[in-house]
Amino acid sequence: MKQKLLGSHLLLTLLSIVIGFLVGAILLLIIGISPGVAYAKLFTSVFSEFKYIIYSMIYASPLIFTGLSVAFSFKTGVFNIGAEGQFVVGSLAALAVGIFVDLPAILHVPLCLIAAALAGAAWSAVVGFLKVKRGINEVLSYIMFNWIAFYFSNYVVNLQAVHKEGGGEASKDILESARLTAPKFLTDMCPYANWGFLLAVACAVLVWYTITKTTLGYQLRAVGHSRTAAEYGGISSNRIFLISMSISGALAGLGGAVQLMGMSGRLSQFAGQEGFGFQGITVALIAGSHPVGCILSGLFYGAMKYGGTKLSLVNVPNEVVNIIMGTIIFFIAIAHVFRKLFQRKQKGGAAA
C-alpha cells in the first residue's frame, strides 16, 4: 500500500519532469531554437566530464539544504517560504565569524556553521513566535522577513568594516581557515570543490532519522497530520511549531553558510533576491518532502542550474532552465488531482 503510494509519487514526478522538458522544447521551437541542440548541450555540460559532475554537486549543495528546510517545515504543516531570508542571515553570520574570528580550521569551520544555523533558526523562530503568540500567518511574515534579510545583507556588505577596499560591491573574503575546501586532488580538477555536498547528505540523513525515528519526529508528524488529535494527546502544537520552524530555519541558514564557505568566499551586494530559498521549495516538492529525496532532487536542480550556465555558448537563453523547472513544479503541484484519477484507475486495474 505504502509502496504503491511512493511508487505513484515517483511516477508522477518523473512524468512531470518529462512534461517540463517537453514544454521547454516547445518554447524553444517557438523562438526558433532547436531543442535538440539545447538539450544536448545541457546534457553534455553536466555529464561529459567527471569534473562537471562535481560542479553539479557544488551547485546542488545549498539547494539540498534549502530543500530540506522546506521539506522539514511541510512535515508539521508549515510552509517555510522564508528559507530565502534564513539562507541570507545564515551566510551573514558565517561571514561575520569567518572574517572577524581567527581560529584554526578545525574550530573555525564548525563555529561558522553553528553561527549560521543559529542565525537561520532565530530568524525563522521570530516568525514562529508571531504565529503562535499573535496568530499572524507565517507566509506573510516569512515573505517580509525575506526582504528584511535581503536589504540587511546589502547594508552589511557595504559597512566599512566588512567592505573590501577596491573590491567592487562585495565584502572581504572570509579567512582561509573558515573555508570548506576539499582535498587537493579534487580542487585540482575544479577549484571550487568543497565539503558542502557531504554535509548536505549527512544533514538529509539526520533529518530523515529525526522525523521517522525520534519522539520529536513523532510529535512533528502528529501536529502536521492533525493538530486537534495531537493536542488531545497532550502535544502542544505551538511548541512544536516553534521547534519545527527553528530547525527549518537552521537548515536554510546552513545552506547559506555552505554556499559562502564552499563556493563564493564572500558576499556581494545583490540587485534582487538570489532565490536559493525559493528553489528549495521546488527541491522539496520534487522530493515529495522526503529528506533523502531532497538529495536527488537537489542534484537534479543543481545540474540543471550548472548546465544552464553553459547554454549561452550555443546561443540558448538560460531562462529555459527556469521555464522547465517552473513547469515541473506546476505539474507536481496539480499532481494530487492526477493521483486521484490514477488511483481510481489503479484500483480498477487491480480489481479486473
Partner 1 sequence: MSHMDPNTVVIQMKDIVKKFGDFTANDHIQLTIHQGEVHAILGENGAGKSTLMNILYGMYPPTSGTIEVKGKEVHIDNPQKAIELGIGMVHQHFMLVQPFTVTENIVLGMEPMNGLSVNLKEAREKIRALSERYNLMVDPDAKIEDISVGMQQRVEILKVLYRGAEFLILDEPTASLTPQEIGELMEIITHLTADGKSVILITHKLKEIKMAADNCTVIRRGKYIDTVKVGDKSEDDLAGMMVGREVNFRVEKKAQTPTDTVLEVKDLHAKDYRGAEILKGLSLSVRRGEIVGLAGVDGNGQSELVAILTGLGKAVSGDVVLNGETVTNLPPGVLFEKGITNIPEDRQKHGLVMPFSVSENLILQNFAKAPFAKHGILQQKAIKDHAGKLIEDFDIRPAGCEQRPAGTLSGGNQQKVIIAREVTNDGDLLIAFNPTRGLDVGAIEFVHKYIVEQRNKMRAILLVSFELDEIMSLSDRIDVIFDGKIVGEVKGEGADEYVLGKMMAGGAA
Which of 192/338 has CB closer to partner 1? 338
Q: How far apart are CB 4 and partner 1 at their closest, in Å?
A: 9
Other C-beta atoms closer than 10 Å to the C-beta of 43 total 12
Q: How far apart are CB 176 and partner 1 at their closest, in Å?
A: 38
CA 103 to chain CA mean position, Å: 29
Size of the site for partner 1 (CB under 8 A): 27
Q: How far apart are CB 53 and partner 1 at their closest, in Å?
A: 36
Residue ranges in 184-223 that form contacts with partner 1 under rule CB under 8 A: 213-219, 221-222
Does residue 228 bind partner 1 (CB under 8 A)?
Answer: yes
Stretch that binds partner 1, among 7-15, 56-64, 233-241, 319-327 (CB under 8 A): 233-241
CA 39 to CA 311: how far, in whole Å?
9
| AA letter at 150 | F
Does residue 226 bind partner 1 (CB under 8 A)?
Answer: yes
Does residue 347 bind partner 1 (CB under 8 A)?
Answer: yes
Q: How far apart are CB 135 and partner 1 at their closest, in Å?
A: 16
Which of 50/209 has CB closer to partner 1? 209
| From 235, 263, 323, 329, residue interacting with partner 1 (rule: CB under 8 A) | 235
**Residues with Cβ < 8 Å from 251, sequence gap 6 or more?**
65, 66, 68, 69, 72, 83, 117, 120, 203, 207
User: Residue for cell digits 529525526?
Assistant: 210
Helices (H), 83-195: 83-100, 105-134, 138-157, 184-189
Rounded-to-10 torsion of CA 92, 94, 95, 99: 150
Does residue 338 bind partner 1 (CB under 8 A)?
Answer: no
Does residue 342 bind partner 1 (CB under 8 A)?
Answer: no
CA 9 to CA 352: how far, in whole Å?
23
Residues at the contact surface with partner 1, assessed by CB under 8 A: 1, 213-219, 221-222, 225-226, 228-236, 344, 347-348, 350-352
